[in-house]
Chain A
Amino acid sequence: MKKVLAILLAACMVVALFACGGKTDPTPSADPTPTAATTPGGEEKPTPGPTTDGVPLGKILEGDHAGREKYKIVYMCNTLAWAWNAAIADTLGKLGEPLNYEFTAWAANNDFDAYLNNIPAFANQGYQGFVLGIDDTLAQASMEACLEAGVSFVAESTTIMDKDGLCIWSSVQQAQVKNGGIAVQWLYDHWKDYWTDATLDGQKVGLIGLNYSAVSGINERKPGVEQKFAELFPDGKFFDGDLAALGTTGFSAEGGNQLSTQIYSQNPDIEKWFVVAYVDDWAIGATRAAEQQNITDKTLVVSIQADAFLAEMSNNYTGNVYVAACAVSSTEFAIDMANYLVATISGVATPETIWPEWNDAGGSYPRIQVEGTMITRDTYKDYLAKQAAMLP
């Protein structure tokens, strides 16, 4: 009996493996239709272009990529269920063709030990380039594992720093503080478009900043939001909606929903609500919470990062609650990181010579800061077209 069961178990495993073997595209892509991005002030965002070392930002690295061996690149992150990570993985996959590399995305799903162990495992499989989608917890150890494995790598969204706070490896991240400010400025400039006959009583205006303080890269958006809100709505009330209070499950649309429901209902004196979700998925939760509480006519939600917003738009969202997002281009991120890896693997540049104009003062490694642009129902298609135009 036991042997039969063992054979059955092995057979189940084999079937499961074969069933799982077909490679799937890791990302559901947002609406591919076209676009134009504007800043709150309506100005065009400066287009990233060539840099002093010849490795461009926001534009695919030129060269005879087809004429060389195919590189192998892996994106290692905690989860691919977040819209942002999924978008990065999707774009890195698409860039594999023009930049001639084979691509895999891998998620640790909170097993950080496995994250570290899989760096040498992938290196052993011949992967030469690593995009490390990490937080502070893993930064240092991941860097050491990559250095030991002798592979090229770049950090996504987190700066790897030494104990004195000096940036010790290259990274691509968003302009955290600035993007927070851009989102609030947009709310200030545009609330009248949605609440046409309203006048704002400063004391009865509340802003919920949906945060997750456990991740410093996200928490850094808070001062941008808080300071700009204090500047533009000096009598307004700021609510720090820290999803870390809900544990690791807080980092989700459901977490955003729970916490905003709580804050809406505990503060009936607030007549007009602004919500800035520091991560786009949470804006969905805050929007559904406003719908459930029947306060859609007095709530405006915006997010930093736009993939969830784009998904809502492509799902024909018709409401007037989740109205805009500070789109930080995951395409731009992915292009910069792919360029970095191809350039450093092929020897066109080294981690110490690439993008010197982006080095911290006194530092030797670049820290690219990607700025966001606000998009709305009216402008998101132009934005998407612009993003699509960045890819071949």
Chain B
Amino acid sequence: MKTESKAKKFFGSKTFTLLLLLAAMVIVFTILSGGLKSIKGSFIDPKNLKQVIAGMSVVSVLTIGAGCLLISGQVDLSAGGIGTLSALLFAHFYSNWGIPLIISLIISLIIAGAIGYFNAILINRLNCQGFITTMATALVCTGLTYVLSASGDGILKNIRIENEAFNYIGTKSVLGGYVPVIVLIALAFFVVYGIIVSQTKFGRSIYLVGGNPTASHLAGINPKRISNILFVNSAVLGGVAGIFYTAKMKQGSYAGIAGNQFAGMTAAILGGISFGGGSGGMVGAFIGLLILNAFQNGVTIIGVPSYWQQVASGLLLIVALSVDFLAMQRKAAGLRRTVRRGQAEKAAAAEGGDK
């Protein structure tokens, strides 16, 4: 009986819906890429699936950072810019100043965290609008990235990283050459954050803050403190994404990961994390990321022209947002019904008491 209700719960869950969508996507792309005739060169060719997985590394940490903030009802548009800047600083520290790799890494992530805290102060203490504040921070970081990259002749330069272990992490694969090392690390991040968000008191606080900040305050949670932590977290994860990118490219670069910022948010939203806050989770975000990567890879290998790929990606996000909106409306309608029923029952009980 318990098993039956668990199964019922699973089939009615967001995760099941997402898996259904992913399965539909895999089937469509496999057919369109000729997978019914031969696996080789099709979407489900293991070599191609490796690329779907490989594309997850940089965006995955951005998805986690964006996901946590979205659950709390906030948004951070600066994670990509912060990530690019801190990765470039890391390259500077290590390659130009000769600071040991691990120390360079720690310092650059601390700087990323400090910028995230700066965001948090502006938003939570000075009550600046989060969307605009983080957009401005992103601009500042991009500008600083250019300043740091400019050489004497005014040309922007990349900074090479020559460290065997670091480059191994960025470029090599394990498990028969099918799983990039960097993706394994990204998966570890998903597991750790999945546990934090779903199994800890702090994780539950994030949901409460996102779902109903007033109620969370009444429950003894300090929403601003949670928000501060999440902005710092988002920035540090941006820094990690930048380091991942640096490891892949073997160089610190001014171009960086700003272009991946929206992919991270898209994956989180596709994965069922509500833009309104209070719902979704890391499992969904992970599947959302898989959907996004599978979609991008699929449209490329079936030969959809680039312009149309953008149209299709945009459509996918619109559909995901619409589903999210419909679900929120349904939830609100359900709540209204419950409240009305409760009030009616209360009124009936009061009437009975009077008699």
B51 at the interface (CB under 8 A from A): yes
- Complexed CA–CA distance, A216 and B153 (Å): 11
Total interface residues on B, using CB and 8 Å? 74
* A247 to chain B: closest residue by CB: B142
Return the CB mask of B292-319 against A: 1 if under 8 Å, else 0.
0001111111111111111110011001
A213 lies within 8 A of B158 (CB): no
User: Which of A111, A114, A117, A244 has a CB less than 8 Å from the CB of B156?
Assistant: A244
B156 lies within 8 A of A121 (CB): no
A3 lies within 8 A of B255 (CB): no
Shortest A39–chain B CB gap in Å is 28
Shortest A136–chain B CB gap in Å is 6
A13 at the interface (CB under 8 A from B): yes
B216 at the interface (CB under 8 A from A): no
B307 lies within 8 A of A26 (CB): yes
Shortest B131–chain A CB gap in Å is 17
A17 lies within 8 A of B304 (CB): yes
A12, A107, A113, A126: which has the most chain B beta carbons within 10 Å?
A: A113
A117 lies within 8 A of B55 (CB): yes
For chain B, what secondary structure do more than half of its interface residues adopt (helix, strand, loop), or is it mixed? Answer: helix
Shortest A103–chain B CB gap in Å is 11
With a CB–CB cut-off of 8 A, which chain A residues contact B45?
Answer: 124
A10 lies within 8 A of B259 (CB): no
A233-290 at interface with B (beta carbon < 8 Å):
242, 244, 247-248
A5, A121, A136: which has the most chain B beta carbons within 10 Å?
A: A121
A198 at the interface (CB under 8 A from B): no
* A12 to chain B: closest residue by CB: B319
Instruction: Tally inter-chain residue pairs, CB-CB below 8 A.
Output: 174
A24 at the interface (CB under 8 A from B): yes
A14 at the interface (CB under 8 A from B): yes
For chain A, what secondary structure do more than half of its interface residues adopt (helix, strand, loop), or is it mixed? Answer: helix
A362 at the interface (CB under 8 A from B): no
Pick out which of these stretches binds chain A: B13-21, B115-123, B201-209, B280-288: B13-21
Pick out which of these stretches binds chain B: A46-54, A138-146, A188-196, A298-306: A138-146
- Complexed CA–CA distance, A247 and B260 (Å): 16
B250 lies within 8 A of A213 (CB): no
A345 at the interface (CB under 8 A from B): no
A20 at the interface (CB under 8 A from B): yes
B224 at the interface (CB under 8 A from A): no
- Complexed CA–CA distance, A125 and B308 (Å): 20
With a CB–CB cut-off of 8 A, which chain B residues contact A13?
Answer: 21, 24-25, 28, 295, 312, 315-316, 319
B20 lies within 8 A of A214 (CB): no
Shortest B319–chain A CB gap in Å is 5
A140 lies within 8 A of B303 (CB): no
- Complexed CA–CA distance, A214 and B157 (Å): 8
Which residues of A are interface residues toward B (Cβ below 8 A)?
Answer: 1-3, 5-7, 9-10, 12-14, 16-17, 19-21, 23-24, 26, 80, 104-114, 116-118, 120-122, 124-126, 135-138, 140-141, 144, 163, 213-214, 216, 219, 222, 242, 244, 247-248
Q: What would be 14 A-B contacts, judged by CB atoms less than 8 Å apart?
A: A14-B28, A17-B28, A17-B298, A17-B304, A105-B306, A110-B258, A112-B256, A116-B248, A117-B54, A121-B297, A125-B301, A163-B160, A244-B156, A248-B258
5 A-B pairs besides A105-B306, A117-B54, A141-B248 with CB distance below 8 A are A13-B315, A16-B312, A114-B296, A214-B255, A222-B154
